[in-house]
Structure 1
């Protein structure tokens, strides 16, 4: 973009030491986290960990309460592994504080009590990113496509300058601050995915990052069981723009049904993306599992991720990159080098070619994959394993019936439904008069047996289901020497 995005107003920021040397000193940790130093230390904080096993020398260990364990149980281990400081919840101090302080003193580490350890982690991350005066922060959310979009945009921006993206799926109220705290002074771009599965979480994440660029990929039905409706999902996703002050950029899909609502009263520039809106887009050619050719600004770009949904993710990344002033050549290179990540649009080629797209599943992503596979030109048979879609709440039965109807009308050669929730999908598929091999099981061993007895060389196997179903477990068990078909 012609004019560099103005840095957001950040209020009072406690200065930090050079990032390459240290993140904070003990006084800074105490002030930022609203804590009290119970045991001092002159050692620096060079990293932050919430898992005592990941503590390294001079790390700040922040114990968080969990469903099965409380991080306060592992304070001694964190000290043994080299922590320079421990946070301790105020509620724990009367019970264990003196003993923990003694242990910290023996290791030359600090002990700081805080009202809430999770809030302390988030506050430290927010302070850290707002101390990065040369950083452009880009936040991405949406019901689907946000991780892939993050990867594509990161691939482009790395051609321009040092850039960092969330590792793996560190995009929650716990994971995002850990990602933010890994940003270093050398980084010029931070591309940060923001996930959300309960009301209020997006506002917390937006407050941490205060992004200068924010993109919503789409509003779908993922997590609808936790939020109640798509309208509620849209309301929560819109919170990514909450801290805009007229100097930021908001990107929305041109055909997003909630476009008007999402763009209403946003204090920033609204920029649509998509086939009609992305600057310089001239069309595309579908290459099946090999991806597509994107015709853009006179270039023919081989984009390796398959499906029209990934093409839209590429167009969103182009739109953001153009606004940021990235050169055409670097955008082209970044698109060409984009790679699928675990469980998302992965193609595993072999005697049986496998599409591993089982990191997550919701009604919208199921429909997109079924549509892609139905149209895909393939010499062999098309086989699909559809696992349960979770976190759909009261909509689960209806959503699974819809999945079954769509699968039954897909024209595939075989569909196997896996998981208790998919029994209704199986019944719905039967009602369509599906002419291929159709089956249902909730037993993983029986699923393996069905596949080993059916698959043969030349088949295409598509794995799609929610993360907890763990369909990727099938892959090492489906070696050709174990197939009977």
Structure 2
């Protein structure tokens, strides 16, 4: 790929060096390095077109930017391609890059919860098997922007691509499926995440199954065996189906829950240490293994991948100290809260169990009902105390009381007040679960809890 390739595909105006090479796509000028195409996108908070020069200074060789903006002249050896719509142009490039590799085995992973963890487990297995020939979505670059940038990272040495595919609006999954063209599609689950954007869980399921658009008879769907949505998701699907989540089948013999240390699995008679705690993560592992098995991954790589993977930051992450923390605040909805509460109850502690719950966002018209369900779930767990953070949790608080919760429960809307309250309340031996949507940013409490632990 080079600047001329970008201009020809997008119909853009090329200024500078047409032979400037491209090996990767970036949308953050601070991360650019030699060989990068910087795509200047206008976001909610800032305009990437303001950072064209910094992108070149950071190392980018080619910039794709908005022709309606005042743009700098590219430095010697570098190039600028100006277009009417940089995002549309990026997606044209990504679509073509995918078509350039017709033999590429693409696994697309979507679902209301567990996408990133499933992707990382699958990547650990496949990288052990195929080494550098596996392209993997970085972080959670799973949107129409992130997926397109990931596809620009393809090179001739890649045999497999593991692509995370998320959506929060109608028809976004159709676009993602068109870009990625997955032969193997994994749907981890269907829940209430983004229901506020889509209107209902039925609409969420409808969007999720659009990952199958373009699937043929040689395609494979990987879905949960006990999903209430399985029949709906598979309606009209022309390919093969592989189910996950059944013990006693597909090599899964048994497991022992080790609490904060994860699980001791027995797979095909071999003991395997899986270090990500929480039974919901067992399902993520089973989904990943099923997808790897479709590709023919050897059992040795499956075992080594399962043993190599560790909890991701903010996702079922156990932080040890005088006060032990389960940091699960990357995101939250009622289903992921229930999963986190099960993990909370499985971890042993000599002190009190303290639930710190942030807001559950993007629930739309179902907000009140779902918050009440969450409140009842919190009450059933019966922690010693509940600290709520956010203005929207009144229904959750009332539901917990109605369900019989009699422990300490306080609500805060100021993060500093919550930090002070926890600093005074917590003591050595306590176990804290931090759970909330990204908007609550509960990781800001890590320092406060750490100071209690070190004090």
Instruction: Return the TM-score normalized by structure 1.
Output: 0.88
Task: Give the aligned partner of residue 86 of structure 2.
Answer: 117
Match of 1:143 in 2: 112
Q: For each residue in 1:207-258, what CA deviation from the matched residue of structure 2 results, as whole angstroms up to 9, or x when unmatched?
A: 1111121100000000100000011001111111112122211111001111
Structure 1 partner of 2:76: 107
> Displacement, 1:189?
2.2
- CA deviation string 1:22-77 (max 9, x = no partner): xx123321232243435553322233322333333343232112223222223333
Q: Which residue of 1 aligns with 2:360?
A: 389
CA distance in 2, matches of 1:84, 1:318: 39
Between stretches 455-464 and 390-399, larger displacement belongs to: 390-399
**Equivalent pair of 1:272/1:278 in contact (CA under 8 Å):** no
Structure 2 residue 432 is the aligned partner of structure 1 residue 461: yes
Q: Is the 8 A contact 1:357 1:463 kept in 2?
A: yes
Q: Which segment drifts farther, 337-346 or 119-128?
A: 119-128
Larger gyration radius, structure 1 or structure 2: 1
Q: Is this contact kept in 1: 2:247–2:253, CA < 8 A?
A: no
Inter-partner Cα distance in structure 2 for 1:429 and 1:359: 23
Which residue of structure 2 aligns with residue 407 of structure 1? 378
Partner Cα distance (1:255, 1:440) in 2 = 37
- Distance in 1 separating the partners of 2:48 and 2:437: 28
The C-alpha deviation readout for 1:292-314, integer Å capped at 9, x for no partner, is: 12221111111111121111111
Residue in 2 that maps onto 1:222: 193
Aligned to 1:9: none
C-alpha deviation, 1:431, in angstroms: 2.2
Unaligned stretches of 5+ in structure 2? none
Cα deviation, residue 187, structure 1: 2.9
- The 1:58/1:321 distance shift into structure 2, 3 A limit, reads closer
Q: 1:237 aligns with which of 205, 208, 211?
A: 208
Aligned length: 453
Structural mapping, 1:208-287, within 5 Å:
208-276=179-247, 278-287=249-258
Offset at residue 182 of structure 1 (A): 2.3
Structure 1 position 424 matched with structure 2 position 395: yes
Unpaired segments ≥5 residues, structure 1: 1-23
Measure the CA separation in 2 of the matches of 1:53 and 1:410: 44
* CA distance, structure 2, for counterparts of residue 480 and residue 59 of structure 1: 41
Separation in 2 of the partners of 1:357 and 1:398?
A: 23
Deviation of 1:134 (Å): 5.2
Distance in 2 separating the partners of 1:418 and 1:302: 35
352-361 vs 72-81, greater mean Cα deviation: 72-81
Cα pair 2:3 2:18 within 8 Å, conserved: yes
CA distances 1:74-96 after superposition (whole Å, capped 9, x unpaired): 33333444443333435x1xx64
1:27-426 matched pairs, under 5 angstroms: 27-37=4-14, 41-90=18-67, 92=68, 96=70, 100=72, 103-104=73-74, 107-133=76-102, 135-162=104-131, 163-276=134-247, 278-426=249-397
Aligned-pair CA distance for 1:148: 0.6
Helix, strand or coil: the match of 1:161? helix
Aligned to 1:441: 412
Q: 1:481 to 1:272 in 2, by over 3 A?
A: closer
Show the counterpart of 1:11: none
Q: Structure 1 residues 79, 376: CA separation in 2 closer, same or farther (over 3 Å shift)? A: closer
Find the residue that maps to 2:144 and give its secondary structure: coil
- The answer to whether the 8 Å contact 2:321/2:453 transfers is no
